[in-house]
Structure 1
Amino acid sequence: MKRLLIYMVCTVLFSGCSPEDRALPPALDAIRFVSGISVEVSKATGPVSGTVLQSGSRIGLFAASGGSGGVGGTVVMNNLMGTVEAEGAIDYDPVKYYEKDKKYNFYACYPYTVSNYTDTEKAPSLSVSLAPNAQSQDDYLWASLPGVTPEAGGVTGVRKFTFRHALCQVCVRIWNGSDKEVSLNSITLKAPGSGVLSLGDGTWSEANETKTNTFTSFTLYSPTKLLPLPKDAFYEVPAALLQLPVSEEVMKSQVFSITIDGKTYEVKPTTPAGGWKAGFSYLYTVWYATDGIGFQGTVESWQPVDGGNVDTGET
């Protein structure tokens, strides 16, 4: 009798579900993606860290297809919103499918940013304006998969987007070499604050690099309560600024304003040679003394960014 009751309950439960209500595996020709973050350890190639985007992250998906000869391009995905699921899988709707004898170019960006993709002759791009406060900035990432051809028989595997940092990171620490405690009032940086990012290769354009009067004033540090800096000790500013990669000449036009004990010192970064590059983190050390300050820059490993939504911890 007990077995019969179990059988009857199961029959009622399953008979009440239509085929449309049951989860089905994706079609063999469905376009599917997973995500990851580029991991590079050499300073020569740009030190970044992290392996996955956080589950729930929203990204933009773009795609164009064309015939085998590269003509007759068609926009397949125009900034479709994708959601990063567990293990980096990307879910999006409506699902798109490969077509026979077509070659595809895929692109993605994080975070999801409003953009319209219409010209299949070139990669999509984003107009980006950086938030002026370090705590409010987003860590922009890009990825591309050019020249993807569906496999024979309609069975095409999952494609992996390897996301790369589009910005560089600027950190500051201060050495108080005076004979007393001093207060750190604020740290700001005037630098280009907007540009157009290509999702094809991560290059920036239209950054107004020569118009210093249009530079944005970025706030790295501005506490509600003044912080005392002990003498003969380093203080690591806990936040970091995300900045556009710029040439050496543009970098020299940028201005740090550092206010210590009510006095403001203005300095221009002169290192490293070659300017700022995407995926690099630059640490600037302020050497403070009663008679003035010194300023020195070094290249460091990429650090997690407060205010951004990317999990850059190693797994």
Structure 2
Amino acid sequence: MPHVEECRKIAEIIDGYRDGEFGTYDSSHVERWIAQFDEDEQEIVLLETLKILKRNYITADDFTQFVNSLIDNDHVYSEEKDNYWRSVSLLDIQKNGSSQDELNDVLVKAINQRYSVGELIGKESDEFIYLDDFIFSGNRLRSDMQDWIIDIAPDECRVCVITIGWYTYGQWATKRMLKKIAEESGKNIKFVFLSYEEYRLENRLYRKDYSEVFWPTDSIANLDGYDNWFRNESFDPKYRQKNGVKNKIFSSPRREAYERIMFKYGLKIMGVSSQNSGVVKPLGYSTFRGFGFGSTVFSFRNCPNNNPLAFWWGDPTASPSHPFSKWYPLLQRKTYGS
């Protein structure tokens, strides 16, 4: 098997994913995944995937370090620090997933050690924190917050939305929508968004040529199956134009080929099922018409479904007749409710 070193390095990064729930993610696992790609595509996929994982794979240590760093971040507390952490209320309102519970647990323990504070979650306050790992489209955050704003939030308060990072469009649209919901509810709520600056990634349409998501050029238009897929999607394609500007996520010489390959296999994966939801796109789930969200962020907790399908789609334990048996995932995804 060629590319042994790249497979080993990828395996080192993803080792321990979901505490081994889906088996041992060693070099053999990565080799099995990459063997599904044509031979002349494998090096590009491995090198670029390794580059992205090195930068954007959120480890358990990153998760804990992020939460602990909040306590001393003067952008979080709006008054004298000791009083703030004794009076703030953590929101526990996430409807799907467990990232908020896990982050809240880490923060509660850290605050208790520092300030001997009792209850932090759901108490009466005018200062609130909504903690999560990442903002992709922002749909989940908006859904979580809407009922709270309308039914529970006090008439006047401050809410810190704190995440490890975000995609620029998702954060902008979410902040705008939350302010609108509050105003329509007759409430004066100040929303503050905080994250690590290096995890703020570009995905706005007008910045597509500088994007930090999978955003293909028109080279995908001659792929087998593209025309048929495109007719069904029925949208005005906004292809990325190459501009030679250095990108912090992708390698410039390989980006176009990498995106084309991942789109190609996303199309292939979609072709094995006749019952795809409308949000399923080759480059990841998205409610917008287009190629897919194209996320380049990964986590030890779960692989986001906003990432290209070729990373996470499939289940090696599925019966041979099931569509999930037709693709072997690099990071198998745990779905909500399963």
* Larger gyration radius, structure 1 or structure 2: 1
Judging by fraction of residues, say which structure has more strand: 1
Q: Same fold (TM over 0.5)?
A: no
TM-score, with structure 2 as normaliser: 0.23
TM-score, with structure 1 as normaliser: 0.24
User: Larger relative contact order (C-alpha < 8 A, sep ≥ 6)?
Assistant: 1
Judging by fraction of residues, say which structure has more helix: 2
